[in-house]
Amino acid sequence: MSQIYGIDLSKEKFNVNFIDSKGTINEMEVKNKYSIICEFLSKLNKDVTLCIEHTGIYGDLLVFLANSFEITICAIPGYEIKHSMGIQKGKSDPIDAARIREYGERFTDRLTPASYAEEDMHELRELHTLRELLVKHRKALLTHQKEKGRLPFKSIAAQINATQMLEEQNTRINDIENQIQELINANPEYSKNSQIVRSVKGIGPVTTNELIIKTHNFQKINTARRASSFAGICPFPNSSGKMVKKAKISSLGDRSLKTLLYLCATSAITHNKDMKQYYQRKTAEGKPSYVALNNVANKLLRTIYAIIESGQRYDENYLCLDPRLEQKNVA
């Protein structure tokens, strides 16, 4: 087993915890700066494994440089670390680094090497994050303007400023969406998958771009089941002993992608013959409309991943043969 380094990240520095060849626990503090991180990585053996908590941009520089030095680095969700260690008392950066190391040593089979996104994907992620911020600001402003309708008096100056801000935000959001689409069209792999996904009736350009960015062009999240779990629409069993309840979806998931998939499912049951029949069959079985809609969202993901794997555009008239018949023919 390779030597595990637990690293707790922060904006200015990160704390490191590891056990040396003599079995002694060592602690150190490294500034989160380019030259100092390079110096730290240059002193490590190539066979070590760095374990960090997934904390967003604070770990991006370390991941990028670790990839450059060909040192394995794994990013672990903080929720998973917290709930794997049992009841813990006390918290500090050195303690968190020790807990991350302990997790890496105990669950080596769960560790997945992290790699920094290629330049095009990084550009897409940056633009996508900026778009999300602008959309949230626009939504807050629209809500504020809607609630002002209850006031007995309105400020004309405030109304003019709010209208101008909304127009500017709409323009900015449209510009960013166009830049995202141009980047996708300029990359042959992204462009091919974009055209394949958008061939499914009910899936629009915003959802297509969201899927490409969030799944890293269907490479990082490479199955429909994983994508469903990531979006928070995957049903999980809910039973214990003699108590058997209906499967339910987890509250953990990407809410933005989940919302888009539900919107696509709503559109698909109107414009997509296959999805409409599937929805009607589920409701005829007695399932509530929201459960049937969740089923349609999952079916959309399975369809997307199937056509991405085949490299063929969606064919509404395609007939899926029963695999059991093929097995009989082979026998």
pLDDT of residue 237: 74
pLDDT of residue 320: 64
pLDDT of residue 250: 76
Q: Report whether 100 contacts 75 (CB < 8 A).
A: no
**Quick one: average pLDDT of 192-214?**
94
Tens digit of each residue's pLDDT (9 = 90 or more) over 121-136: 989 999 999 999 999 9
pLDDT of residue 204: 92
Tens digit of each residue's pLDDT (9 = 90 or more) over 270-279: 998 889 999 9
Tens digit of each residue's pLDDT (9 = 90 or more) over 21-32: 888 999 999 999
Tens digit of each residue's pLDDT (9 = 90 or more) over 132-149: 999 999 999 998 888 877
Q: Report whether 26 contacts 4 (CB < 8 A).
A: no
**Quick one: average pLDDT of 172-181?**
95
- Angle, helices 289-310 vs 273-284, to 10°: value is 140
Q: What is the distance between the alpha carbons of residues 147 and 167, in angstroms, rounded to a whole number?
A: 19
Q: What is the distance between the alpha carbons of residues 69 and 24, in angstroms, rounded to a whole number?
A: 26
Q: What is the distance between the alpha carbons of residues 146 and 148, in angstroms, rounded to a whole number?
A: 5
Average of per-residue pLDDT values in the chain? 88
pLDDT of residue 217: 93
Tens digit of each residue's pLDDT (9 = 90 or more) over 225-237: 999 999 999 887 7
Q: Tokens for 264, please give them.
A: 């696509």
Amino acid at 155: S
More confident of the two residues 110 and 245: 110
| pLDDT tops 60 at residue 323 | no
pLDDT of residue 329: 47
